Amino acid sequence: MAYAWTAIDPDGFILESHYNIISSIFPSALRSEVFALLHGLDSLPWNSKITVATDCAQLLSLWSLYVDAPFIPRMLKEFNHLLWSSIRTIMLQKNLDVTLIKVPAHADDPLNNHVDALAKAAHNDSYLSSRPSSKLLAPCILQFNSLPVDINIQKFIRDIFDAKSLLTLAVLPRFNSYSSTSDIDWACTKFCLNNNKLFVSHRNGRSEFCGFRIKLLLDMLPTLTTLQRRKPHLYNPSWLCPQCNSFPETLDHL
């Protein structure tokens, strides 16, 4: 991903232009817009008063919600909340007076086309790949594997624990017979286990159907082989399937 911005004077002459690439973590067009705004504000001297023109309507909407207004915890649930927190910090530290205005998109505006061309040029500039990204100035930065978490923190932590739980499930003996656990659709498995209400309908009749599917998945149904393993003093290990009397009554056999 890349971003770019151009500074002009009141007469429309270009004073400075800048472009660079940013990490492709959490990629989105909005993130490029927010990062361009962040870097542009960070380049300003103290007590500056500027007007920022952008063709991104969502940027203006989030600006009025997270910068022009007092801090609200809801911002921490947004993508790019670290960038918005950094913008708030820069605005406060440098005492900036910033106004955002909307310009029409795809209107063949010369300055808008110039900035778009700069952003495209950043992808072809091999020198930029060695430059570090701008430092975040958020008051608190949560990191995972040395990378900043710039998404909904609560959802991110929940996804981490879901992944750990799913990994615990994947290494159960039930799945040791598979050549590779990658053959299992774990995303579908997680969806089925987390949506118990889907198993309760007029077609399958009872809510116990969900429990049946989980037992089926974990090889916990009381087949003869399972009972022989649990209570060998009651179920003779030599007993075979009562239907065919030829093979052990395992789940795969049934």
Domain boundaries, the chain: 2-148, 153-221
Query: Among 60-69, 87-96, 165-174, whose mean pLDDT is lowest?
Result: 165-174
What integer pLDDT is reported at residue 170 of this predicted model? 75
* pTM higher than the cut 0.85: no
Q: Write out the two tokens for 204.
A: 């399958």
Q: Domain 2-148: which CATH class?
A: alpha beta
Q: What is the mean pLDDT of residues 57-71?
A: 88
Determine what percent of the chain is predicted with pLDDT higher than 70: 85
> How does pLDDT run across 7-43, given as a tens digit for each residue?
998 888 888 888 888 877 777 888 889 989 999 999 9
Dihedrals phi, psi of 153, to nearest 5 degrees: -65, -45
Q: How confident is the model at residue 211 (pLDDT cuts 50, 70, 90)?
A: confident
What integer pLDDT is reported at residue 119 of this predicted model? 84
What integer pLDDT is reported at residue 154 of this predicted model? 85
What gap in Å lies between CA 64 and CA 60, rounded to an integer?
6
What integer pLDDT is reported at residue 87 of this predicted model? 92
Q: What is the mean pLDDT of residues 176-198?
A: 66
Q: What is the mean pLDDT of residues 36-62?
A: 91
Determine what percent of the chain is predicted with pLDDT higher than 90: 15
What integer pLDDT is reported at residue 73 of this predicted model? 81
Largest CA distance in the chain: 95
Burial tier of 179 (Cβ tally within 10 Å: 0-12, 13-18, 19+): exposed
Strands 147-148 and 97-102: unpaired
What gap in Å lies between CA 187 and CA 192, rounded to an integer?
9
Yes or no: say if 34 and 9 are a contact pair by the CB < 8 Å rule: no
What integer pLDDT is reported at residue 132 of this predicted model? 45
C-alpha to C-alpha distances, 97 to 34, 60, 150, 161, 202, nearest whole angstrom: 17, 15, 26, 43, 62
